[in-house]
Structure 1
Amino acid sequence: MDYSQLKKDLEGLYITIPTLFNDPDMSINEDGIRQHVSFLKSNGINRQNAVLLAGGAAGDFSTMSFEERVRVAGIVKEAAGEIPVAVGAQTTSTMELQRLAQAAEEIGASFIQVSCPFYFNHTQDDFYEHILAVSRSAKIGLIIYNTFWTSAEVSFGMVERLIEIPQVVGLKWATKRSVAMEFEDVVQTFSSKLTVIDNDLLFPISHMLGAKAFEVHLCNHWPEWGVRLLATLEAGDYKQVELD
């Protein structure tokens, strides 16, 4: 597995695909998901500018069974074609995380997105062991998700430890601004070692400091906006980014 290439593949727009359900039985709307991915592809989203996340938080992973999560990921991967796919693998169970990673590898996904286990108060050492276990379970890129929805945030020192694991290719960041300039410090320090995904919506600042990927939920409704955003960032026209 070429993890250096996966870091490059992760650059661009990071689009969380919504999981669609049928009324009234709440079964997965497979055709609807396929149509949605087709809509994105028809409006400028491709392997050069985007990664699709299947079963993230905005894709309702927390309400689905293991089998449903894997099925949704498979549908998105099938519909995505050459566009790289990440699979949401947030879970309270390390064993389930390993199964999700193996399933993601089997369907041909490039990445899984992993956050610290939630509900109980976990330590950063707990999270490190969680990541180490999954790194030994599947040959797939790991995106570490630092989010305030879990029990322990990922500190600067934790990132220093995680980047020593070869499979760790991405870091997605969405936290409360509890430590002054921590996000900026992390981007500036580690963006040469992994692909940072800005989920704090600080796109001009993070791009200046080295972030190469950007969470853009709006792309699900207006993909052309995301394509323009990325081009404007890469052109260094940060004033226009703010206006857009």
Structure 2
Amino acid sequence: MLPNGTGTAIVTPFSPQGDVDHEALAQLVDWQIEEGVDFLVACGSTGEAATLSLDERLAVTATVVRSAAGRVPVLAGATDNATARAVDEAQAQAAMGVAGIMSAAPYYNKPTQAGLEAHFRAIADAIHLPLLLYNVPGRTGVDLRPETVARLAEHPRIGGIKEASGGVRRVMDLVAQTPSAFAVLCGDDDIVVPAIASGARGLISVASNALPRTIATIVRHARAGDFVTARADLLPLLPFIDLLFTEANPIPVKAALAMQGRISDTVRLPLLSATAPLRERMAPFLPMSSRLGVSA
């Protein structure tokens, strides 16, 4: 079974020289868990999986699993536009002690819906863990349609979807067309409250990297049916959430974490670190780390 609630799509910290900073990652995992998130997702879009080597991705997953130490479940990303490579990585990640595998639709080669179905079935057939589908057409260039998801939901190891196409209606269609045991997770911070009201089981969040307790509390209120409180807490954050996507994710959220003194803001080319104007606009939303010696 896939986890519900708040999952942080955790960043991959780099040293200023561009190497994976496993110490900073371990500290970030501890902080996320202490702040109340329900699960973690390693090696996704926010984790810059696209610019990590396979060995680096497996090492990142190992650090997250080891640091979580069973306190929360960990999912690992395994995405490729060649099905054979996606299968190989899913099998490798499944051996790392994770609770499930998340896999996005293949990018660039634009398969048909039948091709997408065959791709995900091949991955699910090759692993022993639950598979979380990931629909993010803004990045992949292809949309995993609800009717395709409904067919995939019949597979015993395809347990849910992270839906990040940006619309509440899509969440509603997925909930309506899939079995009750199938976990629809919102992949867009800004619509999490209406998404949960529409049947989503939780959120895989970018914003919770920087504001884990706040986001986890919003999701908890919404899942408990207290939509008035959840909405009141979310609305003031919408400008910050917008800022997280004014430059390509994870550039802004890494800058936010750097401003809190938690990681370096280093990203790998072709991404560049956040601009000064963006940092200035984000600053009012961020509780400052005690390591900086300032308060919000």
Q: Is TM-score (shorter-chain normalized) higher than 0.5?
A: yes
Matching residue of 1:228: 217
1:21 equivalent in alignment to 2:9: no
User: Could you tell me how far 1:156 is from its partner in structure 2?
Assistant: 1.9
Deviation at 1:176, TM superposition (A): 5.0
Distance of aligned partners of 1:21 and 1:93 in 2 relative to their CA distance in 1, 3 Å threshold: same
Name the residue aligned to 1:62. Answer: 50
Matching residue's letter, 1:13: T
1:193 CA drift (Å): 3.1
Q: Which amino acid aligns with 1:12?
A: G
Output the amino acid matched with 1:74.
Answer: A
The letter of the residue matching 2:50 is S
Between 161-170 and 144-153, the greater mean CA deviation after superposition: 144-153
Q: Measure, in 2, the Cα distance between the counterparts of 1:235 and 1:62.
A: 36
SS at match of 1:152: coil
Aligned residues between the structures: 230
CA distance in 1 between counterparts of 2:57 and 2:77 reads 8
CA displacement at 1:62 relative to structure 2: 0.6
- Residue 231 of structure 2 aligns to a residue whose secondary structure is helix
**Contact 1:192/1:210 (CA < 8 Å) preserved in 2?**
no
* Alignment counterpart, residue 112 of structure 2, candidates 110, 113, 123: 123
Question: Which structure carries more relative contact order (alpha carbon 8 Å, separation 6+)?
Answer: 1
The corresponding residue for 1:198 is 186
State whether structure 2 residue 104 is matched by structure 1 residue 112: no
Gaps of 5+ in 1: 1-5
Question: Counterparts of 1:78-227 in structure 2 under 5 Å?
Answer: 78-82=66-70, 83-148=72-137, 149-175=139-165, 177=167, 181-190=169-178, 192-200=180-188, 201-227=190-216
User: What's the secondary structure of 2:194's corresponding residue?
Assistant: helix
Higher percent of residues as strand: 1
Identity %: 26
Q: Note the C-alpha offset of 1:192.
A: 0.9
CA contact (8 A) 1:122 1:151 kept: no
Partners of 2:94 and 2:25 in 1: CA distance? 20
* Structure 1, 108-117 or 207-216: larger mean CA deviation: 207-216
Q: 1:74 aligns with which of 33, 50, 62?
A: 62
Query: Would the alpha carbon gap of residues 29 and 147 (structure 1) be closer, same or farther in structure 2, given more than 3 Å must change?
Result: same
SS in 2 for 1:242: helix
Q: Residue 90 of structure 1 contacts residue 115 of structure 1 at CA under 8 Å; is this kept in 2?
A: yes
Deviating runs (4+, > 4 A) in structure 1? none
2:101 aligned counterpart, secondary structure: strand
Q: TM-score, normalised by structure 2?
A: 0.73
SS of residue matched to 2:50:
helix
Greater C-alpha radius of gyration: 2
CA contact (8 A) 2:171 2:184 kept: no
Whether the aligned pair in 2 keeps the contact of 1:70 and 1:103 (CA below 8 Å) is yes
**How large is the Cα RMSD of the aligned pairs?**
1.7
Q: Quick one: distance in 2 between partners of 1:115 and 1:227?
A: 24
Segments of 5+ residues of structure 2 without an aligned counterpart are 234-296
- Distance in 2, Cα, partners of 1:16 & 1:64: 15
